[in-house]
Structure 1
């Protein structure tokens, strides 16, 4: 090979080597464009499904970026769940539900609302009445208060942080059915408008124990039909013009961090439960037993949301679970409900054993 030919080949090789990074970069950019287009299309489909519109192109672009971040987190979770548990019907999965274009802060402000005081007072009117109840001897292997006719339909708190009111009301509706044989949908709006002292501040948050205390002092709670839900603060209290449809004497607290005690209580009546509802694995819950299959549940047990335990049972793979009624509408989770792994030590999955109470 002549020197000139060798020099020509060397120059060609150097040229190809120099161009390689640019070619690779161009390929990555094309991949990014394709992924971005696919995500934009997915966002458009999601908008159509949930009837979402935005004020302008700038707002839409911002919401798309939030949607992208949430969708990628959801897809990553589901991929890991698939690898760990396969397509088991009881395996926990997430979905890009109607909250997928909200930031964590926006979501928590609108859809949670539990206010936990620095020190929680003890039970009102005595201790825990189910402390001598033997689960092994007396409790059924499963309980579903829906099947007993003690649970009203799933409700939706909307963009009002009054989950505490919905949790307390659901527990009271259950007790009323158990004691009187009548299932009456009761008024959350009365609590939002009228129970506005101390920690309870309507859409700005509250605590179920305080709601029970208000209902006891007031002499009862109006029905939903007599005092309908508006999902807004600032309404004048109309409790004097609405006859109580049900009443309670007070409430008791379930011993903290004790799922055995919680199970004893739920075996007898629906129970108000606090949880970390702002965590993404709860927020985007779609189906299965949350916390099963090795995913560990929420990233922390900080309490910011209130739901209602309406039963417990056993999944097909033998995993024990709690059946919880939420207040985010029937389109969330399993028709508005969530199953959460039962039998954890201490605080429970997502903190569910830390702060539970029930009306009496």
Structure 2
């Protein structure tokens, strides 16, 4: 009997040692598989980054910079993957030309709107009037796209210069010029960057001061006569024989604050310059109806041009905004933004900083 018990004890002891070895082996195997999975994922990201660099013509000074940019790229890839997993999104984000930039870098290089807290005493704008105030629902269409009416030039690219304020105001002037004259002409943003001394070129500017410059100087010249250079260290060429003004405006008005209804009336009549908060989700926006999930609404830093509005088949009202980040961003350079939201400042503050020129 004792011998039998000893045999059972030895068997149990052996099995316990065997199980321990098995668990160790399984643990090592699982750990190796996790390491392999991470390695494969890392290698896949490296390949993705290389392909992305080739697609956008991106080069780096050395391996140190490349490694830094790769880590930022990985973070943006993770953001995109996690964002698009969320259910009930009305838009998606994607890896685009901004994918190796931090948000701080992106804001520094590719935005540039400054907000006017109060109108200056010398302002030519009519802050206390709104020419479309008396329009009713019956006076405005249920949807409009100023591109289809020939009032919108091709999407432009501010490139690595904080001159969105110039692009937005120029697009609004291009629109009202076509509406009143029947002629669409691409106008010069570089003239504003070089010559609007109350603004700061690639370091940002005000929509209001852009319009005021155009009024004071009796117009803008064409893009062809004064092409964009994405730099602000050039002398103003106005006054030379090469520059002839192509259009004029007589004033501008700001859309009443916190009113998407007022904004609708204005956009129904002409393209409107609009401020918006630029966030990570806008940076990487790909398509759909943008709702600005990461916006506070209190940090408007970028300017776009509203060139229409409409309603999707599933009933979402939206604004159609022309951006200045090139045609390879968003929906061929455009973003559709959710309209008629509960927030009084609108999605990402779009109802807090809107203005339009008057001819």
Question: TM-score of the superposition, structure 1-length normalised?
Answer: 0.91
Q: How many residues align?
A: 345
> Which runs of 5 or more structure 2 residues have no equivalent in the other structure?
1-6
- Structure 1 window deviating more from structure 2 (56-65 vs 6-15): it is 6-15
2:314 paired residue number: 317
Among candidates 25, 46, 53, match of residue 31 of structure 2: 25
- The whole-number CA distance in structure 2 between the counterparts of 1:4 and 1:183 is 94
The structure 1 residue matched to 2:47, chosen from 41, 46, 65, is 41
Query: Does the CA contact (< 8 Å) of 2:220 and 2:246 recur in 1?
Result: yes
What is the aligned partner in structure 2 of residue 229 from structure 1? 228
* Residue 109 (structure 1) aligns with: 108
The secondary structure found in structure 2 opposite 1:321 is: strand
CA distance in 1, matches of 2:186, 2:155: 11
Q: Shift of the alpha carbon at 1:9? A: 2.4
Q: CA deviation at 1:120?
A: 5.0
Runs of 4+ in structure 1 displaced over 6 angstroms? none
Pick the structure with greater CA Rg.
Answer: 2
Q: Which residue of 1 aligns with 2:3?
A: none
Is 1:9 the equivalent of 2:11?
Answer: no
**Gap runs ≥5 in structure 1:** 86-90
1:338 matched to 2:352? The reply is no
Deviation at 1:353, TM superposition (A): 0.9
Residue 22 of structure 1: CA displacement?
3.9
Equivalent residues in 2 for 1:1-360, closer than 5 Å: 1-18=7-24, 20-80=26-86, 83-84=87-88, 91-120=90-119, 124-125=125-126, 126-134=128-136, 136-197=137-198, 200-241=199-240, 242-277=243-278, 279-291=279-291, 297-301=293-297, 302-345=299-342, 346-360=344-358
1:66-91 Cα deviation digits (max 9, x unpaired): 111001101111121xx326xxxxx4
Measure how far apart 1:55 and its partner are.
Answer: 2.1
Question: Which residue number in structure 2 is paired with residue 88 of structure 1?
Answer: none
Q: Deviations over 1:311-347 (max 9, x none)?
A: 1111111111101000011111111111111111311
Q: Is the 8 A contact 2:124 2:212 kept in 1?
A: no
The Cα shift of 1:276 comes to 1.0
